[in-house]
Amino acid sequence: MRYRGKVLLILALGVSLSIASLDGCAKKKATTPPAPPKVEAPKPKPAPPAVVPKAPEKQEEGVPRDLMFKTVYFDFDKSNIRPDQRSALENNAQLLAKYGTVKVRLEGHCDERGTDEYNMALGQRRTDSVLSFLTSYGISDSRSETISYGEMRPADPGHNEAAWAKNRRCEIIITAQ
């Protein structure tokens, strides 16, 4: 299933997104974006095949001051996007699609158990995964920067499984609105 020529029309209206046309992107019904960005409340959507973002008609809508993106979490020593993280990432992608002027920095982190050196590369991998996900959603990679902090900036300084799970993450920080 592919995008129709409608997309090109919308592009002409000044959407700054460059929509990449990729295989396997499932079609979402062409409606307005979902409810206002209350990022804390996860949407209980049944997991469909990967969702294609629909470029919003009203691109000039002001960016809310409390706009925030959901942190994405990972398994130990892994950088692939977990199934239970997809909806959070999709939410992020939708927000980025809606607010086309927003730019972000993807910050990759690891828990303390590996070496500082390998964790630097693993943290980078995690940002690469998130960036790849966003790109496949049509978010231009010129809107994102990436950085790895390895294990140097834990969210939770604890030394147990609960803390470690919180530290294996990619945070999405707004750098421009």
Partner 1 sequence: MKHNCIAKKKFQYIVFFLSKICYICILIINAKECRAQSEVYLSIKTGGSEYIGIGIGGFEAYGDTTGIITRDSTLVIMVKNTFVDDLNRSSLFQVKNLSDSLQAVKGDMFAQWRAAGAQYYVFGAEKIGSNTITVTVIDLKTAATVLNEEYRIESQRPWYTAHVIVDDMIELFTGLRGSTSSQIAFMSPYRGDSHEVYLVDADGRGRKQLTFTKTLKLSPAWSLDGKQIAFSSLIDLTWSLMTVNVNTGQSLDISTWKGLNITPSWSQVDTDIIAFSSNRDGNSEIYTCRSDGKQIRRLTNHYGIDSSPSWSPDGQKIAFTSDRSGQPAIYIMNRDGSDVHRLTFNINSYEDLPCWSPRGDRIAFVILFDRGFDIATVSPSGDDIVMLTSGEGSNENPRWSPDGLRIIFTSTRLGGKNLFIMNRDGSDVRPLTQDSLSFSPSWSPAFSGNDIRVTSRRQGR
Instruction: Based on the shown chain and the rule CB under 8 A, indicate whether residue 152 belongs to the binding site for partner 1.
Output: yes
Report the site for partner 1 in 98-137 (rule: CB under 8 A): 105, 113-118, 120-122, 124-125, 128
| Torsion sign over Cα 79, 165, 108, 36 | positive
Instruction: Based on the shown chain and the rule CB under 8 A, indicate whether residue 148 belongs to the binding site for partner 1.
Output: yes
Residues belonging to the chain: 177
Number of residues that bind partner 1 (CB under 8 A): 21
Instruction: Based on the shown chain and the rule CB under 8 A, indicate whether residue 146 belongs to the binding site for partner 1.
Output: yes
Instruction: Based on the shown chain and the rule CB under 8 A, indicate whether residue 77 belongs to the binding site for partner 1.
Output: yes
Cross-sheet strand order for the sheet of 103-108: 72-73, 169-176, 103-108, 144-148
Q: How far is the CB of 76 from partner 1 (least distance, A)?
A: 10
Q: How far is the CB of 135 from partner 1 (least distance, A)?
A: 13
- CA-nearest of 159, 37, 176, 174 to 107 is 174
Stretch of 3-11, 20-28, 148-156, 162-170 lying at the interface with partner 1 (CB under 8 A): 148-156
- CA-nearest of 85, 174, 98 to 126 is 85
- Residue placing its CB nearer to partner 1 in the complex, 121 or 163: 121
Please give the helix or strand (H or E) that residue 174 lies within, else none. Answer: strand 169-176
- Residue placing its CB nearer to partner 1 in the complex, 26 or 152: 152
Whether the Cβ atoms of residue 98 and residue 91 lie closer than 8 Å to each other: no
- CA-nearest of 56, 69, 44, 177 to 130 is 69
> Which residues are near partner 1 by CB under 8 A?
77, 105, 113-118, 120-122, 124-125, 128, 145-150, 152
